[in-house]
Structure formats: structure tokens, C-alpha cells
């Protein structure tokens, strides 16, 4: 066994015992046009069907589930209506056709018609509606260096651009919106990618931390 191979084996074993620290590059913009601290807690927030880029439609349920779970954890006093609960309430209220039309209008205009969105809010039992939009999600991998012709370490990365709009169903207006662009990467010797849940949860934490009334420690933990 040559010295080069021995060095390679030692290096691989050393790297295998090292923990990797994720590298996060974040850009966040938000605008508050009428949401006051305490209103989500007082009137509730219901998740409605997210919008996604073409080809990402299968990610809508996971996106809403991950975001709502993060909201429940970070803002436990806010009454959160999950997407399945909202859809069940809409179906029981006989609003399926109106709900479908609401999304057709949204795709064309970016607007939820006031009459329909008001009925959706009433059915869900929440004044405020959370509309998520997954504008971009991609993964990438790059080899960092190798030993004896073998690739030893890779950089695994994921990019996401996620928009959150909060609609006041009584007024038919957007009262808060934010967009989070995030690159999440880490060095590894394994083939495991950064999971969709991991990067969505990280983006969610950073958006939730900017909501009115969010505890200051959330902002500190999310990175300013």
C-alpha cells in the first residue's frame, strides 16, 4: 500500500469524524401594509394552497406542512389552521368550485377576489390567510478535493426563493408580505443532499421572525 493511499485513508477517516457546519447566505425583503402585533393571535391564520413554479406542484403539501409546523413552534400562541384543516372546511362549506375559481383568478391577476376570499376565511374560522409561493428551488453539488484520484469531499447546496403573503380575508387585501432567498450549503463526504424540509424550515424561521409581534429572540436566532 503506497503512502499516498495511506494518507488518503487517514484523511477520509478524519473527515468522516468531523461535523459539518451549514453555510447560509440569505436575502430577505418584507413589507407590512396593515398587520398589527397581536392580530394573528387574536384572529387566527389559516394556510391555503401554496403556489409553485411549474414542475414543483407535488411540493405544495410538504411546503405548507413544514411552514405551518415551524409557525406553531415559533409562535405557539397564534391559532394556526393547517392546510388540510382549511381544505376540509372549504369542502364542508361547499366552496370547492369557488376556491378553484379563486386560484384561477390569482394565477392571472395576483388577486384573490374579495367575496370568495372572505367566504374562505369564514369557513376556515380565521381572519388571516397565509399564501405561500415557491418561486424557485434547486439543488447542486460540487467536488471540493480528492485523494489518489478519488473525490473525498463535496459541497452540497440548495437554493430557495419563497414568498409569504398574509391576506386579510375581511378586507380582501394583503397586509404583510415577505420574500426569502436562501442558499444553504455544507461540506460532506456522504451522498445525502440538503433536504427540502430542511431548507423550507430555515426560510420559514427567517420570515416568521419578521412578523409583527414575533419575539426578539426569533430574529436573533434567524440572523439579521
Q: Is residue 84 part of a domain?
A: yes
Whether the per-residue pLDDT at 198 is higher than 70: the answer is yes
17 in a structural domain: no
What whole-number distance in Å separates Cα of residue 155 and Cα of residue 205? Answer: 24
Domain assignment present for residue 109? The answer is: yes
144 part of a folded domain:
yes
Number of domains composing the chain: 1
In a domain, 4, yes or no: no
Give the residue numbers spanning the domain of 174.
22-222
Return the CATH number at 183: 3.40.50
The set of long-range contacts for 71-77, using a CB threshold of 8 Å and a minimum separation of 24, is 71/45, 71/204, 71/208, 74/205, 74/208, 74/209, 74/214, 74/218, 75/40, 75/41, 75/208, 75/211, 75/214, 77/41
Residue with cell 428551488: 137
- Any domain includes 14: no
Assess if residue 170 is contained within a domain. yes
Taking only the tens place, the pLDDT of each residue in 45-98 is 999 999 987 666 778 999 999 999 999 999 999 999 999 999 999 999 999 999
End-to-end CA distance of the chain: 51
Task: Give the separation between CA 79 and CA 47, rounded to whole angstroms.
Answer: 11
> Does residue 171 lie within any of the structural domains?
yes
Q: Mind listing the pLDDT tens digit for each residue in 133-151?
A: 998 777 665 555 555 555 5
Handedness of CA 88, 93, 94, 96 (dihedral sign): negative
pTM higher than the cut 0.95: no
Amino acid at each position: 500500500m503506497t503512502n499516498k493511499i495511506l494518507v488518503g485513508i487517514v484523511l477520509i477517516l478524519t473527515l468522516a469524524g468531523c461535523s459539518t457546519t451549514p453555510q447560509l447566505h440569505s436575502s430577505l425583503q418584507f413589507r407590512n401594509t396593515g398587520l398589527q402585533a397581536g392580530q394573528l393571535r387574536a384572529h387566527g391564520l389559516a394556510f391555503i394552497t401554496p403556489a409553485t413554479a411549474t414542475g414543483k406542484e407535488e411540493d405544495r403539501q410538504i411546503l405548507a406542512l413544514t411552514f405551518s409546523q415551524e409557525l406553531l413552534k415559533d409562535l405557539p400562541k397564534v391559532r394556526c389552521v393547517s392546510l388540510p384543516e382549511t381544505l376540509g372546511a372549504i369542502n364542508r362549506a361547499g366552496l370547492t368550485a369557488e376556491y378553484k375559481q379563486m386560484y384561477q383568478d390569482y394565477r392571472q391577476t395576483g388577486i384573490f377576489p374579495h367575496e370568495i376570499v372572505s367566504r374562505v376565511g369564514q369557513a376556515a374560522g380565521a381572519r388571516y390567510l397565509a399564501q405561500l409561493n415557491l418561486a424557485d428551488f434547486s439543488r447542486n453539488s460540487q467536488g471540493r478535493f480528492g485523494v489518489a484520484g478519488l473525490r473525498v469531499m463535496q459541497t452540497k447546496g440548495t437554493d430557495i426563493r419563497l414568498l409569504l403573503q398574509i391576506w386579510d380575508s375581511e378586507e380582501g387585501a394583503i397586509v404583510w408580505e415577505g420574500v426569502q432567498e436562501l442558499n444553504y450549503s455544507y461540506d460532506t463526504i456522504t451522498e445525502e443532499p440538503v433536504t427540502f424540509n430542511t431548507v423550507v424550515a430555515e426560510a420559514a424561521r427567517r420570515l416568521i421572525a419578521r412578523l409583527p409581534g414575533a419575539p426578539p429572540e426569533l430574529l436573533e436566532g434567524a440572523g439579521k
